[in-house]
Chains A and B, each alone.
Chain A
Amino acid sequence: MIDLEGVTKHYEVGPVLVTALAGIDLHVDTGEFVVVLGASGSGKTTTLNIIGALDVPSSGKVTVGGRDLTTSSRSELFALRRETVSFIFQSFNLFPGLTATENVEFGMDVSGKSGSAEPADILDSVGLGHRLGHFPHELSGGEQQRVAIARALATGNPVLLADEPTGELDFKTGAQILELLAEQANQDRAVLVVTHNREISRMADRVVEMSSGQIISDGPPEGGKTPLSELRW
């Protein structure tokens, strides 16, 4: 589903050339729940942005859903974001003018899946069946993130990309969110979660650890996959 071959990314910050990614290779299949772990500046968010076609690599090849992003046109990249990948952001990024239901409808509308499911059912599946008509500012942080997940799920896209999805949440709420994301992998989606929280990585199928723009390890979590109930942060 996701293939990165020799991907590099350089930024020019004034006269300085900063290397965000130094030639990484990564393959993620559908049904995988992968946590990309790393400290700030390790290149994990850049990786996520490149997979999500929000950013372009300086070199290397990126294939998502069978589409080579490095040779795709701007409109093809937009189409990929509509049809293949869906984002979940640390700060939720819900549309403040739309209700929870409408935010979910947005996901369905952009991917052309309107009518395929009821937004209320999707919100119900994330435990928000009672908050349908609420606006983002009327919801707690955890609820907002669940709406964001529902919006991403509503697209029906096979790749879910989450950037620090629990970063603004308390442990209990964060755990609920992770559980939701893990469930998506069981539904044949490739789920990529970016975090700096090592504890979270213990519940992943696979942990990709990054440092200084390189993948320094890639495999099952140390000590094996841990149930959510045993995690603490």
Chain B
Amino acid sequence: MWLFRLRWSLRDARKRWIQIVAIGFTLAIGIGLYAGLSSVTQWRLASIDKSLEATSMYDLRATVGEGGDVPAGSLARIASEIDGIDRYNERLLFDTQVETVVEGEELLVHGRIVGMDLSGGEPVVNDVYLIDDAARPVSHSATPQVLVNRGFSTFWDLPASGELTVGGDVGVDYVGSAVSPEFFLIIEGNGSLGRSNLAVLFAPLDAAQDISGRSGVVNDLVLTLEPGADAAAVSQQLIEAAASTDGVLLDVLTREATPSYIGLTGSPEIDQGIYNAISLLLFAGAAFAALNFSARMVEAQRREIGNSMAIGEHPRTIVVRPLLIGLQIGIIGMILGVAVGYAIAFQTVSVVQEVVWLPIFEQSFQAGIYAQAMALGFAVPVLAVLWPVLRAVRVRPVDAIRSSHLASRGGSLGPIISRIPLPGRSLERMPFRNLMRAPRRTFLTLLTFTMSLAIMFAMLGLGSTFTATLDDGNEELLGGEPDRFTVQLDSFYPVNSPQVQDVLTHPTVQLGEPAMVLGADVTAAASDDTADPIRLDLAVRFVDFGSTVWTPTATEGSLSPRSPGIVLADKAARDLGVGVGDDVTVTHPALVDGAFTYSTRTVGVAAIHPHPLRLNAYMDLSQASTWGFGGLANIVTGVPADGSSLNDVKRALFGSGTGVTLVQGLSETFQSLEDSLEQSSSVFVITRIFVIFLVMLIAFNTANINVDERSRDHATMFAYGIPVRRVIANLSVEGLLLGVVAVVLGGLFGYALLLWMALFLMPTAVPDVGMIVSVRWWEMAASFVVALAAIALAPMFPGRKLKKMFIPGQLRVME
């Protein structure tokens, strides 16, 4: 009996194979997106763990404060005397400028030289991983040899080896590319430096000392701890030992507090929240579509079911044939779903790897996730066919075999809606009537379109939100001067010192202004001490609020020169829960009697500025004196003089030997942010393609099933002389009606989804950024037009079937 049923159902399948495959594929996209996107995080996390292990990322990193250094060996000696430290290595890190030529264009970017043990002998903490078996730089070579961080070399498509100029006039040979765990993901310079504008060069320690002219010194120690060691206690001992033996202040950073580590390990799980939202919605959309189509396909067989009942077949066996169709759809969905999932995951990881390249990348098959998705995907068509079959077997056989019984009555709502009077001629009303007479079916089809379009809208919106956030940030900082730049000095200098004056009066510079930037720890003053208050690390910039060149924009409150208030970013104020007039507690570096210390004070919030980066805070330059930095500057801002380019300024100032450590265009300020956003949003590009494909598949299935279900109606229309093109036009209008409603609803739900992702999910992924939700309407409109066109043109596909219809045959067909 089973074999007979199977043969019969396979015959059914052969007759409707396009439909079955199309429904299966619809389901496969849902399964694939769900399984594929869910797998990405597992792959990434596993790969990150293995990559960090292979390169022995530090547990603690101790840096000599305020640009100081100590004789080589002294930090190692301290480490050797502290219990709980497993391995340690000394390094010398310093910033520089890196210059090269890329495709005939000068490239001048900020650089960082990491002097370390590159001998390849003993395993070192924070080791480098050589790309494509690159050669190791040789110590004491005539021309210093270095390795270039892979992120930079791939971004600029540098040759495997070549020459670079550092610090304005020192030529170095790079012998290959490498990665190091600290720079798998670059988040530096308060987010202003990323893989494109921070050239990290790994050099042998002696070469780094030579390049910097700081022979025999180090300024950094990286170490790993023994299992069970107390990181906090070791940190404290390091700080105390360095202060007592070398008289230096050590800044100790744990691995977990390292920005790149946070970005690297926190991001996948947070990204997964976004992926889950997208994949679940898409899976639901695809599942609804498959459910709807499978059910409709089986409903078309209700008369056959009635016939079976009439000849006394048991309902239990009647169920078998439609159930087998459901199984076939489920199997096709599962098989194609695995392929789609693998393709999606692979593509997603490939795109992510462009931004964050890991030395060890394991794309393992996530059997559990796939099994879950496949089980769900398999259940959908089976359940879908059960419902109409169970409905059909409940009908009296005498009713089931009656042709009039097949006409959908639309449940209890159909007749009510159908009576709504409509204008126009009968043919023009037909598409509306067809939709109205079966509200459940219409609703399900609408739901599938709406869900898909909502996701497409949200993903497009996220893209434009990212762009708007970056653009708004740039606009705020540039103040109408696209080449506005900031010059970072290596220390604090009096504003009338040669270091500051040289910059201000340099022929390549105009509109120069001295300023100060200091890191500060800010909490809301009103926060309860017993609770864990929100604490933000902000960069407080002291600028002249009376300047005619540039001041931050105050969206709330006002900027008063010489007033003591702080100006917070809107995002920072929201995170701290403060507004204009409230107080915040600021813990900041202070210069007391020529020595650095930390001080805590209460400051009123004077204004809110619109810059999306929350770490940017401002105070009037006059207030620097209250922190002990009166009359000093550590940065200078300006714009290139007429006839000078930004590169001219960079080259001239960095090579001037006046304590300049960084010259950076303010338009580059968001580089690492752009990288982070690119990393988070890379999946959207791939998903968007599948969403459009899903919409097309749903449209195709809808049109195809409509044509099958209404073959007798269409034959009757043909018998009355209605041309095929008019029937197709009516189907298109029906699709368009659904499409227009789906676009409106999809737009609304998509916007809600966008708000949720941008304002709730993204802040956890990129907490430093206040997203500015923005929608590029032309982009949305274009996408929706494409979607509508796909929906409206879908009836063209079964158009051939209509043209070739044998009309007399259909007119007599009862189904």
Contact = CB atoms under 8 A, between A and B. Distances in A.
Nearest to B722: A110
Interface in A88-135: 89-93, 95-99, 102-103, 105-111, 114, 133, 135
B752 interface: no
B536 interface: no
Given A75-B723, A97-B418, A155-B720, A137 B812 contact: no
Interface range on chain A: under 10, 10 to 19, 20 to 34, or 35 or more?
Answer: 35 or more
Contacts of A163: 811
Contact of A55 (B426, B429, B716, B808): B808
B426 A109 contact: yes
A190 B73 CA distance: 115
A137 B409 contact: yes
Contacts of A98: 426, 429-430, 433
B725 to A, nearest CB: 10
Contacts of A155: 720
Interface stretch (A61-69, A78-86, A200-208, A213-221): A78-86
Contact of A95 (B405, B430, B812): B430
Contact of A106 (B415, B434, B720, B814): B720
Given A93-B716, A110-B427, A135 B723 contact: no
B1 interface: no
B444 to A, nearest CB: 17
Contacts of B812: 89-91
B595 to A, nearest CB: 87
Contacts of B436: 97
A178 B118 CA distance: 103
B720 A110 contact: yes
A92 to B, nearest CB: 8
Contacts of A91: 403, 812, 814
Contacts of A133: 419
A109 B430 CA distance: 12
Contact of A82 (B403, B409, B720): B720
B609 interface: no
Given A54-B807, A102-B426, A114-B425, A96 B407 contact: yes
A89 B404 contact: no
Interface in A47-66: 49, 52, 54-55
A195 interface: no
A87 interface: yes
Contact of B720 (A75, A86, A136, A138): A86
B408 interface: yes
Contact of A107 (B418, B437, B720): B720
B721 interface: yes
Report which residue of A79, A90, A103, A110 has the largest number of chain B beta carbons within 10 angstroms of its beta carbon.
Answer: A110
A92 B406 CA distance: 13
Contacts of A82: 720-722
A141 interface: yes
A114 to B, nearest CB: 7
Contacts of A184: none
Contact of B407 (A45, A136, A141): A136
B719 interface: yes
A118 to B, nearest CB: 14
Interface in A17-55: 45-46, 49, 52, 54-55
A136 B404 contact: yes
Interface string B265-292: 0000000000000000000000000000
A106 B723 CA distance: 14
A78 B721 contact: yes
Contacts of B425: 105, 109, 114
B294 to A, nearest CB: 22
A166 interface: no
A97 B415 CA distance: 10
Interface of B: 403-405, 407-409, 415, 418-419, 425-427, 429-430, 433-434, 436-437, 712-713, 715-723, 807-808, 811-812, 814
Interface of A: 45-46, 49, 52, 54-55, 75, 78-83, 86-87, 89-93, 95-99, 102-103, 105-111, 114, 133, 135-138, 141, 144, 155, 163
Given A96-B408, A99-B418, 13 more contacts: A54-B719, A82-B721, A87-B811, A90-B812, A91-B403, A93-B811, A98-B433, A106-B426, A106-B427, A106-B720, A136-B404, A141-B404, A144-B404
17 contacts: A45-B808, A54-B719, A81-B719, A82-B722, A87-B720, A93-B712, A97-B433, A97-B437, A102-B429, A103-B426, A106-B720, A110-B427, A110-B722, A135-B415, A137-B405, A137-B407, A163-B811
